[in-house]
Amino acid sequence: MCHMMSLRSPMNQCLLKVPTFHPLFKYNRIHSHRHNTFSFTISCNLKNKGKNNSLLSQKIVLSESSPPPLTQDNDDINNGNVPASSKNQKGPYGVVKKLSKKVLQILSNLPLAIGEMFIIAFLMGLGTFIDQGEKPEFYFQNYPEDHPVLGFFTWRWIFFLGFDHMYSAPIFLSMLALLGASLIACTYTTQLPLIKVSKRWSFIHSAEAIRKQEFSESLPRASIQDVGTILMGAGYEVFLKGPTLYAFRGLAGRLAPVGVHIALLLIMGGGTLSAAGSFKGSVTVPQGLNFVVGDVLGPTGFLSLPTDAFNTEIHVNRFSMDYYESGEVSQFHTDLSLLDMDGKEVMRKTISVNDPLRYDGITIYQTDWSISALQILKDNEGPYNLAMAPLKINGDKKLYGTFLPVGDVNSPDVKGISMLARDLQSIVLYDKEGKFAGVRRPNSKLPINIDGSEIVVVDAIGSSGLDLKTDPGVPVVYAGFGALMLTTCISYLSHSQIWALQDGTTVVIGGKTNRSKLEFPDEMNLLLDKIPEIVESSSLSKQTDSMVG
């Protein structure tokens, strides 16, 4: 029987006694037709005298069976046990395999992937600079051939390359596909093999090889089982095979780069689906009228497929506006009813700017407004609906106007009452000579006499400007960004590996990590300080007597 005390901290003696055959040792003998394997489990209780006198109890998996091999054994090759795949290197199969390997090597090249990302970023910036989805006349006017941008860029380049719809243009989608292929190739050739190797037991049987690690230390009069117990308490997965030990922690940090690649593929796939598989459309509908969704939406790409929801009819129940104290428009609202093919209302909602309606994959946004008609009474007759037309003025202010003829409407020099409105609050009226006659609010029921006619402004009928779209790629993009944030954070976890070898009474221990390289030695030193020292009973008795004396 041996007693143990701390190896790296002599002043803190450990109260641990581990007999060679302790009742906690669990022995199982497994018989096999070809060979016998010997495996057992050690349960060690290490009393750590700290502030809380906490008791550490862990299990170490010990196995005398060989771990999964990392590489093909040389004996198999020398004995002629060549894998079947190597026998088919000649012929068409071998050519295809060599070609595919070469393609994967090219696609997984890091400079190529970085170049692809720069080109995609440039095209996205160009798509921001060039107005998207405008009518051809817009590009004829802004990119004329007689005054080309940068001396050569005209509307012909825009239409030829598809820069008027950049995000569904073949050149943009091709670059996304190429970057996706590079990510897949990198995952297949680099990340997956790293994960496969990281999950295997990797024992080192040479003390010199262990000392070549980033961190190494020799512990005289120590037990490799105690090293395993301490490492298990620190969260390591520990494996023992005879006098050798292998431990690792943070395998998720190895898995995270694959997750990052998958997240990027989701984002690009969702963006491609949005660009080539969506429907978009805009409509301005007066209050009280209807429209059918399918009559408004138009496809954006070759992947756009209509759904049954396109048969939905939308009725504009009411359009209203909110105003600031200064009289400026602050917000506008539209009360919408969605009707199925039988005319039954399936949904109703009042939308506003930044508060859209979503139904069966269709999103309806409130984007604009106008005044469609003015309802008046003339000499107590009517009401008459006068169509309002937008008038161009300087600046971004809106102005709408209409005209009520007075006298002979067939006269070539017809005159009448003019009515102007900036919003739905008030109507400004002018007589047939163009002189200001007064201002009336809709629904005020207050008449005004102009050129012998009594006019009452009953109502100003607004029109709602709506944008409709379907975007099947949005859930995919959101899932991709969520996965990207999560896997990016996980990728910062360190994947640490530790090897140890029992060399007589000395334990040689070493380790490395892919991140936190400055903190790793300090962490290892703290762990090694907890490993007890094995001393003879006689030596312990002499030391105890000297301390008592």
pLDDT digits (tens, 9 = 90+) for 16-31: 333 333 333 333 333 3
For residue 254, the model assigns a pLDDT of 79
Query: pLDDT of 383-418, one tens digit each?
Result: 999 999 998 766 668 899 999 988 777 777 788 899
Instruction: Give the 3-state secondary structure of residue 141.
Output: helix
What are the residues facing 318 on neighbouring strands? 335
Q: What is the pTM of this model?
A: 0.63
Q: Please say whether the beta carbons of 533 and 5 come within 8 A.
A: yes
Kindly indicate the confidence band of residue 437, based on its pLDDT and cuts at 50, 70 and 90. very high
DSSP letter, residue 327: S
Kindly indicate the confidence band of residue 65, based on its pLDDT and cuts at 50, 70 and 90. very low
Angle 199-200-202 from CA coordinates, rounded to 5°? 125
Cα gap 202→239, rounded to integer Å: 9
Query: At residue 338, what is the residue type?
Result: L
For residue 408, the model assigns a pLDDT of 74
What are the residues facing 30 on neighbouring strands? 37
Interacting residues of 77 by C-beta distance below 8 A, sequence separation 6+: none
For residue 455, the model assigns a pLDDT of 93
DSSP letter, residue 153: B
For residue 43, the model assigns a pLDDT of 41
Query: pLDDT of 69-116, one tens digit each?
Result: 333 333 333 344 444 444 455 667 777 888 888 888 899 888 999 999
The domain spans of the chain are 11-88+201-250+494-548, 94-189, 279-468
DSSP symbols for 401-428: EEEEEES-TTSTT-EEEEEEESSSS-EE
DSSP symbols for 157-202: HHHHHTGGGGGGSHHHHHHHHHHHHHHHHHIIIIIHHHHHHHTS--
Query: At residue 378, what is the residue type?
Result: K
The rounded mean pLDDT for the chain is 81
Cα gap 362→369, rounded to integer Å: 21
Q: Please say whether the beta carbons of 404 and 416 come within 8 A.
A: yes
Q: Find the largest Cα–Cα distance for the chain.
A: 133
What distance lies between CA 401 and its chain's CA centroid? 49
Please indicate whether residue 224 or residue 533 has the higher confidence score (pLDDT): 224
DSSP letter, residue 483: H
Helix axes 170-186, 110-129, angle to 10 degrees: 150
Cα gap 210→243, rounded to integer Å: 13
Q: Which of 139, 181, 173 is nearest to 158 (CA)?
A: 139
Over residues 337-361, the mean pLDDT reads 94
Q: Please say whether the beta carbons of 405 and 415 come within 8 A.
A: yes
| pLDDT value at 154 more than 70 | yes
To the nearest whole percent, how much of the chain has pLDDT over 70?
A: 79
| pLDDT value at 63 more than 70 | no
Q: Which of 2, 40, 48, 36 is nearest to 23 (CA)?
A: 40
Phi and psi dihedrals of 270, rounded to 5?
-65, -40
Cα gap 517→512, rounded to integer Å: 8
Q: Which residues of 170-199 are buried (b: 16+ CB within 10 A; e: fewer)?
A: eebbebbebbbbbbbbbbeeebeeeeeebe
| pLDDT value at 11 more than 50 | no
Over residues 434-440, the mean pLDDT reads 93
With the C-alpha atoms ordered 97, 102, 105, 108, is the resulting torsion angle positive or negative? negative
For residue 201, the model assigns a pLDDT of 63
Cα gap 387→534, rounded to integer Å: 101
Cα separations in angstroms, 76 against 68, 83, 193, 196: 15, 9, 22, 21
Instruction: Give the 3-state secondary structure of residue 348.
Output: strand
Over residues 215-235, the mean pLDDT reads 93
Cα gap 293→405, rounded to integer Å: 38
For residue 194, the model assigns a pLDDT of 73
Pairing outcome for strands 237-241 and 244-249: antiparallel
Cα separations in angstroms, 399 against 60, 388, 391, 427: 82, 10, 5, 11
Query: pLDDT of 237-290, one tens digit each?
Result: 999 988 999 999 988 887 888 899 999 999 999 988 998 899 999 999 999 999
Cα gap 303→493, rounded to integer Å: 40
Cα gap 365→330, rounded to integer Å: 17
Q: Which of 53, 35, 55 is nearest to 44 (CA)?
A: 55
Cα gap 498→209, rounded to integer Å: 12
Which tokens is 387 given?
């169509």
Quick check: bond before 383 cis, omega within 30? yes
Phi and psi dihedrals of 181, rounded to 5?
-65, -40
